[in-house]
Homo-oligomer: A and B are copies of this chain.
Amino acid sequence: MSQVPASMYRISLNDPPDSSNLYLHRFASVRTLTESLVAPLGAEDQCVQSMPDASPAKWHLAHTTWFFETVVLMVHARGYEPYDPRYHYLFNSYYEALGPRHPRPQRGLLTRPTVQEVLAYRRHVDEAMERLFEQSGQAERLNFEALAELGLHHEQQHQELILTDIKHAFSCNPLLPTYVPAGPLAVKNAPPLGWADYAGGIVPTGHTGDGFAFDNEGPRHLVVLTPYRLASRLTTCGEYCDFIDDGGYRRPEFWLSDGWAMVQAQGWTAPLYWANDDGHWQIFTLNGTQPLKRDEPVVHVSFYEAAAYAAWAGKRLPTEFEWEAAAIDVPVAGNVLDPARPHPKPASADGKITQFYGDTWEWTRSSYDPYPGYKPLAGAVAEYNGKFMCGQMVLRGGSCVTPPDHIRPTYRNFFPPSARWQFSGIRLAEDA
Protein backbone atom coordinates (compact mmCIF):
# COMPACT_ATOMS: atom_id res chain seq x y z
CA MET A 1 0.00 0.00 0.00
CA SER A 2 2.90 2.35 0.51
CA GLN A 3 3.77 2.37 -3.17
CA VAL A 4 1.77 3.39 -6.13
CA PRO A 5 0.56 0.18 -7.72
CA ALA A 6 1.93 0.84 -11.15
CA SER A 7 0.10 -2.06 -12.68
CA MET A 8 -3.16 -0.30 -12.07
CA TYR A 9 -2.34 1.96 -14.93
CA ARG A 10 -3.10 -0.55 -17.52
CA ILE A 11 -6.72 -0.14 -16.63
CA SER A 12 -6.72 3.47 -17.71
CA LEU A 13 -3.45 4.09 -19.41
CA ASN A 14 -5.01 5.06 -22.67
CA ASP A 15 -7.39 7.52 -21.08
CA PRO A 16 -6.56 11.17 -21.14
CA PRO A 17 -6.09 11.89 -17.46
CA ASP A 18 -9.28 13.15 -15.95
CA SER A 19 -9.08 16.69 -14.99
CA SER A 20 -9.93 17.15 -11.36
CA ASN A 21 -13.19 18.70 -12.30
CA LEU A 22 -14.24 15.85 -14.51
CA TYR A 23 -13.41 13.30 -11.88
CA LEU A 24 -15.03 15.19 -9.07
CA HIS A 25 -18.14 15.69 -11.12
CA ARG A 26 -18.44 11.96 -11.63
CA PHE A 27 -17.47 11.30 -8.03
CA ALA A 28 -20.29 13.49 -6.80
CA SER A 29 -22.70 11.90 -9.18
CA VAL A 30 -21.89 8.34 -8.12
CA ARG A 31 -21.86 9.16 -4.43
CA THR A 32 -25.20 10.95 -4.69
CA LEU A 33 -26.83 8.10 -6.54
CA THR A 34 -25.79 5.68 -3.79
CA GLU A 35 -27.51 7.76 -1.17
CA SER A 36 -30.59 8.24 -3.27
CA LEU A 37 -30.92 4.45 -3.44
CA VAL A 38 -31.33 4.21 0.34
CA ALA A 39 -33.74 7.14 0.53
CA PRO A 40 -36.84 4.89 0.52
CA LEU A 41 -35.44 2.88 3.44
CA GLY A 42 -35.85 3.46 7.17
CA ALA A 43 -33.04 3.06 9.67
CA GLU A 44 -34.05 -0.50 10.48
CA ASP A 45 -34.18 -1.41 6.79
CA GLN A 46 -30.65 -0.15 6.35
CA CYS A 47 -29.30 -2.27 9.21
CA VAL A 48 -30.75 -5.67 8.37
CA GLN A 49 -28.75 -8.57 6.90
CA SER A 50 -30.98 -11.38 5.71
CA MET A 51 -28.27 -13.90 4.83
CA PRO A 52 -24.47 -14.12 4.93
CA ASP A 53 -24.17 -13.37 1.20
CA ALA A 54 -26.07 -10.10 1.56
CA SER A 55 -25.03 -6.99 3.45
CA PRO A 56 -26.96 -4.19 5.14
CA ALA A 57 -27.48 -1.05 3.05
CA LYS A 58 -25.74 0.92 5.77
CA TRP A 59 -22.75 -1.34 5.51
CA HIS A 60 -22.61 -0.73 1.75
CA LEU A 61 -22.72 3.02 2.43
CA ALA A 62 -19.81 2.72 4.82
CA HIS A 63 -17.74 0.11 2.99
CA THR A 64 -17.62 2.08 -0.27
CA THR A 65 -16.47 5.05 1.77
CA TRP A 66 -13.88 2.96 3.57
CA PHE A 67 -12.55 1.92 0.16
CA PHE A 68 -11.78 5.52 -0.83
CA GLU A 69 -10.38 6.24 2.61
CA THR A 70 -8.13 3.19 2.71
CA VAL A 71 -6.99 2.86 -0.87
CA VAL A 72 -6.71 6.53 -1.78
CA LEU A 73 -6.72 8.88 1.20
CA MET A 74 -4.64 6.94 3.69
CA VAL A 75 -1.92 6.42 1.10
CA HIS A 76 -2.00 9.57 -0.97
CA ALA A 77 -3.55 12.39 1.09
CA ARG A 78 -0.80 13.91 3.12
CA GLY A 79 -1.66 14.05 6.78
CA TYR A 80 -5.00 12.36 6.40
CA GLU A 81 -6.16 10.80 9.66
CA PRO A 82 -8.76 8.02 9.60
CA TYR A 83 -12.21 9.25 10.51
CA ASP A 84 -12.58 6.52 13.09
CA PRO A 85 -9.79 3.93 13.29
CA ARG A 86 -12.30 1.27 14.36
CA TYR A 87 -14.08 1.57 11.01
CA HIS A 88 -11.04 0.00 9.40
CA TYR A 89 -12.04 -3.24 11.13
CA LEU A 90 -15.78 -2.85 10.66
CA PHE A 91 -15.92 -2.00 6.98
CA ASN A 92 -13.18 -4.03 5.32
CA SER A 93 -14.95 -6.57 3.17
CA TYR A 94 -12.46 -9.27 2.30
CA TYR A 95 -8.98 -7.77 1.92
CA GLU A 96 -6.72 -10.10 3.89
CA ALA A 97 -3.75 -7.83 3.24
CA LEU A 98 -5.53 -5.01 5.03
CA GLY A 99 -5.80 -6.83 8.31
CA PRO A 100 -8.49 -8.55 10.36
CA ARG A 101 -12.11 -7.60 9.80
CA HIS A 102 -15.60 -7.97 11.16
CA PRO A 103 -17.04 -11.39 10.25
CA ARG A 104 -19.23 -11.16 7.19
CA PRO A 105 -22.28 -12.98 8.63
CA GLN A 106 -22.38 -10.49 11.51
CA ARG A 107 -22.66 -7.28 9.55
CA GLY A 108 -26.32 -7.04 10.50
CA LEU A 109 -25.37 -6.80 14.18
CA LEU A 110 -23.78 -3.38 13.67
CA THR A 111 -26.63 -1.22 14.96
CA ARG A 112 -23.90 1.33 15.61
CA PRO A 113 -22.61 3.38 13.91
CA THR A 114 -26.09 4.60 13.11
CA VAL A 115 -27.24 5.62 9.66
CA GLN A 116 -26.66 9.24 10.61
CA GLU A 117 -23.13 8.48 11.78
CA VAL A 118 -22.38 6.66 8.54
CA LEU A 119 -23.67 9.56 6.50
CA ALA A 120 -21.38 11.88 8.45
CA TYR A 121 -18.51 9.52 7.64
CA ARG A 122 -19.43 9.76 3.97
CA ARG A 123 -19.40 13.57 4.15
CA HIS A 124 -15.99 13.54 5.77
CA VAL A 125 -14.47 11.32 3.11
CA ASP A 126 -16.23 13.17 0.29
CA GLU A 127 -14.66 16.39 1.42
CA ALA A 128 -11.23 14.82 1.81
CA MET A 129 -11.45 13.39 -1.71
CA GLU A 130 -12.43 16.77 -3.05
CA ARG A 131 -9.54 18.42 -1.24
CA LEU A 132 -7.11 15.81 -2.49
CA PHE A 133 -8.06 16.32 -6.13
CA GLU A 134 -8.22 20.07 -5.84
CA GLN A 135 -4.87 20.33 -4.12
CA SER A 136 -2.97 17.90 -6.34
CA GLY A 137 -1.24 18.77 -9.53
CA GLN A 138 -1.66 16.60 -12.61
CA ALA A 139 1.59 14.77 -11.91
CA GLU A 140 0.57 13.98 -8.39
CA ARG A 141 -2.84 12.85 -9.52
CA LEU A 142 -1.20 10.15 -11.61
CA ASN A 143 -0.37 8.43 -8.33
CA PHE A 144 -3.94 7.86 -7.27
CA GLU A 145 -6.20 8.56 -10.21
CA ALA A 146 -6.48 4.94 -11.23
CA LEU A 147 -7.35 3.95 -7.68
CA ALA A 148 -9.87 6.74 -7.37
CA GLU A 149 -11.41 5.60 -10.62
CA LEU A 150 -11.54 2.03 -9.32
CA GLY A 151 -13.34 3.39 -6.27
CA LEU A 152 -16.15 4.73 -8.44
CA HIS A 153 -16.67 1.46 -10.26
CA HIS A 154 -16.45 -0.35 -6.94
CA GLU A 155 -19.20 1.86 -5.56
CA GLN A 156 -21.35 1.17 -8.60
CA GLN A 157 -21.06 -2.53 -7.94
CA HIS A 158 -22.36 -1.90 -4.45
CA GLN A 159 -25.22 0.21 -5.80
CA GLU A 160 -26.46 -2.91 -7.51
CA LEU A 161 -25.95 -4.92 -4.34
CA ILE A 162 -27.91 -2.44 -2.24
CA LEU A 163 -30.96 -3.27 -4.35
CA THR A 164 -30.42 -7.03 -4.57
CA ASP A 165 -29.78 -7.23 -0.85
CA ILE A 166 -32.76 -5.18 0.31
CA LYS A 167 -34.96 -7.15 -2.07
CA HIS A 168 -33.87 -10.33 -0.33
CA ALA A 169 -34.37 -8.82 3.11
CA PHE A 170 -37.84 -7.56 2.29
CA SER A 171 -38.75 -10.95 0.84
CA CYS A 172 -38.03 -12.50 4.26
CA ASN A 173 -40.58 -10.24 5.95
CA PRO A 174 -44.10 -11.68 5.83
CA LEU A 175 -45.37 -8.12 5.35
CA LEU A 176 -43.53 -8.07 1.98
CA PRO A 177 -42.67 -4.36 2.08
CA THR A 178 -42.43 -2.38 -1.14
CA TYR A 179 -39.19 -0.57 -1.96
CA VAL A 180 -40.93 1.92 -4.25
CA PRO A 181 -44.59 1.80 -5.28
CA ALA A 182 -45.25 0.51 -8.77
CA GLY A 183 -46.21 3.16 -11.27
CA PRO A 184 -48.75 2.52 -14.00
CA LEU A 185 -47.28 0.03 -16.39
CA ALA A 186 -48.33 -1.47 -19.66
CA VAL A 187 -46.43 -4.70 -20.16
CA LYS A 188 -45.72 -5.35 -23.80
CA ASN A 189 -45.85 -8.72 -25.42
CA ALA A 190 -42.48 -10.34 -25.98
CA PRO A 191 -41.74 -11.27 -29.57
CA PRO A 192 -41.50 -14.96 -30.50
CA LEU A 193 -38.18 -16.57 -29.82
CA GLY A 194 -35.85 -16.22 -32.80
CA TRP A 195 -32.24 -17.17 -33.35
CA ALA A 196 -29.24 -15.22 -34.52
CA ASP A 197 -26.40 -17.01 -36.28
CA TYR A 198 -22.74 -16.36 -35.61
CA ALA A 199 -19.94 -17.70 -37.71
CA GLY A 200 -17.39 -18.06 -34.92
CA GLY A 201 -13.77 -18.35 -35.99
CA ILE A 202 -10.66 -17.23 -34.25
CA VAL A 203 -11.81 -14.12 -32.45
CA PRO A 204 -10.34 -11.79 -29.89
CA THR A 205 -11.79 -11.70 -26.39
CA GLY A 206 -11.23 -9.28 -23.56
CA HIS A 207 -10.95 -5.60 -22.96
CA THR A 208 -9.00 -3.27 -25.19
CA GLY A 209 -8.79 0.38 -25.93
CA ASP A 210 -9.84 3.35 -23.87
CA GLY A 211 -11.95 3.34 -20.83
CA PHE A 212 -12.00 1.58 -17.54
CA ALA A 213 -12.09 -2.17 -17.17
CA PHE A 214 -11.48 -4.51 -14.27
CA ASP A 215 -8.32 -6.58 -14.32
CA ASN A 216 -10.27 -9.79 -14.92
CA GLU A 217 -11.41 -8.55 -18.36
CA GLY A 218 -7.94 -9.01 -19.75
CA PRO A 219 -5.52 -9.72 -21.17
CA ARG A 220 -7.15 -9.60 -24.54
CA HIS A 221 -6.54 -12.92 -26.29
CA LEU A 222 -7.79 -15.17 -29.07
CA VAL A 223 -10.33 -17.91 -28.76
CA VAL A 224 -11.65 -20.42 -31.26
CA LEU A 225 -15.40 -20.47 -31.74
CA THR A 226 -17.31 -22.92 -33.88
CA PRO A 227 -20.47 -21.61 -35.54
CA TYR A 228 -23.28 -21.03 -33.06
CA ARG A 229 -26.66 -19.46 -32.57
CA LEU A 230 -27.99 -17.30 -29.78
CA ALA A 231 -31.63 -16.81 -28.82
CA SER A 232 -32.94 -13.45 -29.94
CA ARG A 233 -34.09 -12.51 -26.46
CA LEU A 234 -34.02 -13.66 -22.84
CA THR A 235 -36.11 -16.63 -21.76
CA THR A 236 -39.49 -15.44 -20.53
CA CYS A 237 -41.44 -16.31 -17.43
CA GLY A 238 -44.00 -17.99 -19.63
CA GLU A 239 -41.43 -20.25 -21.22
CA TYR A 240 -40.01 -21.05 -17.81
CA CYS A 241 -43.51 -21.90 -16.57
CA ASP A 242 -43.72 -24.50 -19.32
CA PHE A 243 -40.53 -26.05 -17.95
CA ILE A 244 -42.03 -26.13 -14.46
CA ASP A 245 -45.32 -27.53 -15.72
CA ASP A 246 -43.44 -30.26 -17.54
CA GLY A 247 -41.95 -31.43 -14.25
CA GLY A 248 -38.72 -29.50 -14.61
CA TYR A 249 -37.99 -29.48 -10.90
CA ARG A 250 -38.89 -33.15 -10.48
CA ARG A 251 -36.92 -34.71 -13.34
CA PRO A 252 -33.22 -35.29 -12.62
CA GLU A 253 -32.35 -35.89 -16.26
CA PHE A 254 -32.16 -32.16 -16.91
CA TRP A 255 -29.92 -31.28 -14.00
CA LEU A 256 -26.26 -31.16 -13.21
CA SER A 257 -25.47 -33.41 -10.26
CA ASP A 258 -24.80 -30.54 -7.85
CA GLY A 259 -27.89 -28.77 -9.10
CA TRP A 260 -30.14 -31.73 -8.47
CA ALA A 261 -28.69 -32.09 -4.98
CA MET A 262 -29.55 -28.42 -4.38
CA VAL A 263 -33.10 -28.89 -5.66
CA GLN A 264 -33.54 -31.74 -3.20
CA ALA A 265 -31.87 -30.04 -0.28
CA GLN A 266 -33.54 -26.66 -0.70
CA GLY A 267 -36.87 -27.86 -1.97
CA TRP A 268 -36.71 -25.55 -4.99
CA THR A 269 -39.82 -25.67 -7.16
CA ALA A 270 -39.56 -22.30 -8.91
CA PRO A 271 -37.23 -19.29 -9.17
CA LEU A 272 -36.53 -17.26 -6.07
CA TYR A 273 -39.34 -14.82 -5.20
CA TRP A 274 -42.03 -16.86 -6.92
CA ALA A 275 -44.96 -17.91 -4.75
CA ASN A 276 -47.74 -20.15 -5.89
CA ASP A 277 -51.05 -18.75 -4.79
CA ASP A 278 -53.66 -21.36 -5.49
CA GLY A 279 -52.30 -22.20 -8.91
CA HIS A 280 -51.33 -18.67 -9.85
CA TRP A 281 -47.74 -17.50 -9.59
CA GLN A 282 -47.11 -14.29 -7.70
CA ILE A 283 -43.74 -12.60 -8.09
CA PHE A 284 -42.21 -10.49 -5.34
CA THR A 285 -40.53 -7.41 -6.83
CA LEU A 286 -39.07 -4.19 -5.47
CA ASN A 287 -42.36 -2.65 -6.57
CA GLY A 288 -44.31 -5.15 -4.45
CA THR A 289 -45.91 -8.47 -5.22
CA GLN A 290 -47.38 -8.82 -8.68
CA PRO A 291 -49.01 -11.54 -10.73
CA LEU A 292 -46.54 -13.31 -13.00
CA LYS A 293 -46.38 -11.78 -16.47
CA ARG A 294 -45.52 -14.43 -19.02
CA ASP A 295 -43.74 -11.98 -21.33
CA GLU A 296 -41.25 -10.68 -18.80
CA PRO A 297 -37.83 -12.29 -18.68
CA VAL A 298 -37.43 -14.91 -15.99
CA VAL A 299 -35.03 -13.72 -13.31
CA HIS A 300 -33.55 -14.91 -10.00
CA VAL A 301 -32.62 -18.34 -11.27
CA SER A 302 -29.39 -20.09 -10.32
CA PHE A 303 -26.92 -21.37 -12.90
CA TYR A 304 -28.22 -24.83 -12.10
CA GLU A 305 -31.74 -23.82 -13.05
CA ALA A 306 -30.56 -21.99 -16.16
CA ALA A 307 -28.65 -25.08 -17.30
CA ALA A 308 -31.55 -27.40 -16.49
CA TYR A 309 -33.95 -25.17 -18.40
CA ALA A 310 -31.62 -25.20 -21.40
CA ALA A 311 -31.34 -29.00 -21.24
CA TRP A 312 -35.11 -29.30 -21.10
CA ALA A 313 -35.39 -26.97 -24.09
CA GLY A 314 -32.91 -29.09 -26.04
CA LYS A 315 -30.47 -26.19 -26.12
CA ARG A 316 -27.55 -25.04 -24.03
CA LEU A 317 -26.18 -21.88 -22.46
CA PRO A 318 -23.66 -19.78 -24.42
CA THR A 319 -20.04 -19.63 -23.36
CA GLU A 320 -18.83 -16.26 -22.22
CA PHE A 321 -16.76 -16.08 -25.40
CA GLU A 322 -19.73 -16.69 -27.65
CA TRP A 323 -21.66 -14.06 -25.76
CA GLU A 324 -18.91 -11.46 -26.00
CA ALA A 325 -18.27 -12.08 -29.67
CA ALA A 326 -21.96 -11.49 -30.34
CA ALA A 327 -22.36 -8.50 -28.03
CA ILE A 328 -19.21 -6.65 -28.93
CA ASP A 329 -20.84 -4.61 -31.65
CA VAL A 330 -24.22 -4.11 -30.01
CA PRO A 331 -24.79 -0.64 -28.56
CA VAL A 332 -24.53 -0.69 -24.78
CA ALA A 333 -28.09 0.25 -23.93
CA GLY A 334 -31.08 -1.39 -22.41
CA ASN A 335 -33.25 -1.67 -19.33
CA VAL A 336 -30.61 -0.77 -16.78
CA LEU A 337 -30.97 0.83 -13.37
CA ASP A 338 -34.10 2.92 -12.96
CA PRO A 339 -34.70 3.19 -9.20
CA ALA A 340 -38.40 3.69 -9.82
CA ARG A 341 -38.81 0.38 -11.61
CA PRO A 342 -36.03 -2.07 -10.87
CA HIS A 343 -37.42 -5.05 -12.76
CA PRO A 344 -36.84 -6.72 -16.15
CA LYS A 345 -39.09 -5.80 -19.03
CA PRO A 346 -40.26 -7.84 -22.03
CA ALA A 347 -38.03 -7.69 -25.07
CA SER A 348 -38.78 -5.27 -27.86
CA ALA A 349 -40.29 -6.69 -30.96
CA ASP A 350 -37.97 -4.94 -33.33
CA GLY A 351 -36.84 -8.03 -35.17
CA LYS A 352 -33.33 -7.84 -33.88
CA ILE A 353 -31.45 -9.81 -31.29
CA THR A 354 -31.96 -7.85 -28.13
CA GLN A 355 -31.58 -7.57 -24.37
CA PHE A 356 -27.82 -8.08 -24.36
CA TYR A 357 -27.54 -5.28 -21.84
CA GLY A 358 -29.75 -4.74 -18.83
CA ASP A 359 -32.83 -6.68 -17.73
CA THR A 360 -31.01 -9.73 -16.34
CA TRP A 361 -27.47 -10.93 -16.02
CA GLU A 362 -27.06 -13.90 -18.34
CA TRP A 363 -25.54 -17.08 -16.95
CA THR A 364 -22.90 -18.48 -19.29
CA ARG A 365 -21.60 -22.05 -19.57
CA SER A 366 -18.15 -20.75 -18.61
CA SER A 367 -16.46 -21.29 -15.31
CA TYR A 368 -14.78 -18.18 -13.96
CA ASP A 369 -11.17 -19.02 -14.86
CA PRO A 370 -8.37 -16.53 -15.43
CA TYR A 371 -7.66 -15.43 -19.00
CA PRO A 372 -4.29 -16.57 -20.37
CA GLY A 373 -1.61 -14.27 -19.00
CA TYR A 374 -3.86 -12.84 -16.30
CA LYS A 375 -2.08 -11.40 -13.31
CA PRO A 376 -3.83 -9.70 -10.40
CA LEU A 377 -3.17 -6.01 -9.72
CA ALA A 378 -0.36 -5.19 -7.33
CA GLY A 379 -0.97 -3.81 -3.86
CA ALA A 380 -4.06 -4.06 -1.71
CA VAL A 381 -6.39 -4.26 -4.69
CA ALA A 382 -4.69 -7.48 -5.79
CA GLU A 383 -7.49 -9.29 -4.00
CA TYR A 384 -10.19 -7.46 -5.95
CA ASN A 385 -10.93 -10.21 -8.48
CA GLY A 386 -8.25 -12.84 -8.84
CA LYS A 387 -8.74 -14.74 -5.64
CA PHE A 388 -12.31 -15.59 -6.56
CA MET A 389 -11.36 -17.45 -9.74
CA CYS A 390 -12.54 -20.86 -8.61
CA GLY A 391 -15.95 -22.39 -8.15
CA GLN A 392 -17.95 -19.60 -9.79
CA MET A 393 -19.68 -19.13 -13.14
CA VAL A 394 -19.45 -16.09 -15.41
CA LEU A 395 -22.47 -13.87 -16.05
CA ARG A 396 -22.62 -11.25 -18.74
CA GLY A 397 -24.58 -8.18 -19.76
CA GLY A 398 -25.79 -6.38 -16.66
CA SER A 399 -29.28 -6.19 -15.26
CA CYS A 400 -32.14 -3.85 -14.47
CA VAL A 401 -30.25 -2.74 -11.34
CA THR A 402 -26.88 -2.17 -12.96
CA PRO A 403 -25.97 1.53 -13.17
CA PRO A 404 -26.14 2.65 -16.83
CA ASP A 405 -22.47 3.47 -17.29
CA HIS A 406 -21.27 0.41 -15.43
CA ILE A 407 -21.66 -2.22 -18.11
CA ARG A 408 -19.71 -3.12 -21.26
CA PRO A 409 -19.26 -6.11 -23.55
CA THR A 410 -16.15 -7.43 -21.79
CA TYR A 411 -17.55 -7.14 -18.24
CA ARG A 412 -17.25 -10.48 -16.40
CA ASN A 413 -19.58 -10.81 -13.45
CA PHE A 414 -19.32 -14.03 -11.43
CA PHE A 415 -21.33 -15.84 -8.80
CA PRO A 416 -21.48 -19.36 -7.40
CA PRO A 417 -23.73 -21.63 -9.48
CA SER A 418 -26.29 -21.81 -6.66
CA ALA A 419 -26.77 -18.02 -6.31
CA ARG A 420 -30.28 -16.78 -6.99
CA TRP A 421 -30.63 -13.41 -5.29
CA GLN A 422 -28.91 -11.52 -8.10
CA PHE A 423 -30.96 -10.47 -11.12
CA SER A 424 -29.79 -13.47 -13.12
CA GLY A 425 -31.61 -14.92 -16.11
CA ILE A 426 -31.25 -17.08 -19.19
CA ARG A 427 -30.33 -16.70 -22.86
CA LEU A 428 -30.27 -19.93 -24.83
CA ALA A 429 -27.65 -20.98 -27.35
CA GLU A 430 -27.04 -23.89 -29.69
CA ASP A 431 -24.47 -25.16 -32.10
CA ALA A 432 -25.10 -23.92 -35.63
On chain B, the residues within 8 Å of A431 by CB distance are 372-373
A55 to chain B, nearest CB (A): 14
**Interface membership of A259, Cβ < 8 A:** yes
A369 near B372 with CB under 8 A, answer no
**Interface membership of A366, Cβ < 8 A:** yes
Interface of A: prevailing SS: mixed
**Interface membership of A6, Cβ < 8 A:** no
Per the bound structure, the CA–CA distance linking A47 and B169 in Å amounts to 13
Question: Chain A 41-63, CB within 8 Å of chain B: the 1/0 string?
Answer: 01111111010000000100000
On chain B, the residues within 8 Å of A46 by CB distance are 44
A110 near B43 with CB under 8 A, answer no
Per the bound structure, the CA–CA distance linking A50 and B108 in Å amounts to 9
B388 near A257 with CB under 8 A, answer yes
Per the bound structure, the CA–CA distance linking A319 and B97 in Å amounts to 28
User: Which of chain B's residues has its CB closest to A113's CB?
Assistant: B175
Docked complex: A332-370 residues within 8 A CB-CB of B = 365-370
**Interface membership of A109, Cβ < 8 A:** yes
User: Which of chain B's residues has its CB closest to A321's CB?
Assistant: B372
B256 near A390 with CB under 8 A, answer yes
**Interface membership of A226, Cβ < 8 A:** yes
- Give the interface centre of A48, A58, A96, A260 by most chain B CB atoms within 10 Å: A48
Give which listed residue, B47, B174, B202, B368, contacts A44 with CB less than 8 A.
B47
**Interface membership of A14, Cβ < 8 A:** no
Beyond A255-B387, A258-B390, A417-B391, is A112–B43 a contact (Cβ under 8 Å)?
A: no
Question: Chain A 303-341, CB within 8 Å of chain B: the 1/0 string?
Answer: 110010000000000010000000000000000000000
On chain B, the residues within 8 Å of A307 by CB distance are 390
B96 near A252 with CB under 8 A, answer yes
* Count of chain A residues with a beta carbon within 8 Å of a chain B beta carbon: 69
**Interface membership of A221, Cβ < 8 A:** yes
On chain B, the residues within 8 Å of A50 by CB distance are 109
A334 to chain B, nearest CB (A): 28
On chain B, the residues within 8 Å of A224 by CB distance are 202, 221-224
B370 near A169 with CB under 8 A, answer no
Per the bound structure, the CA–CA distance linking A47 and B174 in Å amounts to 15
On chain B, the residues within 8 Å of A367 by CB distance are 367-369, 390
Beyond A96-B260, A202-B224, is A175–B44 a contact (Cβ under 8 Å)?
A: no
Per the bound structure, the CA–CA distance linking A89 and B174 in Å amounts to 9
Task: Sort A-B residue pairs by CB-CB distance and give the 9 closest, nearest first.
Answer: A367-B367, A96-B252, A44-B111, A44-B47, A43-B43, A257-B387, A45-B111, A222-B224, A109-B172
7 contacts between A and B (CB under 8 A): A43-B44, A44-B47, A89-B174, A94-B257, A108-B108, A224-B224, A391-B391
Give 11 new A-B contacts, CB below 8 A, not counting A108-B108, A258-B390. Answer: A42-B43, A42-B112, A44-B44, A106-B172, A111-B169, A111-B177, A112-B177, A258-B391, A366-B369, A372-B431, A390-B393
By a beta-carbon cutoff of 8 Å, the part of chain A in contact with chain B is: 42-48, 50, 58, 86, 89-90, 94, 96-97, 102, 106, 108-115, 169-170, 172-175, 177, 202, 221-226, 252-253, 255-260, 303-304, 307, 319, 365-370, 372-373, 382-383, 387-391, 393, 417, 431
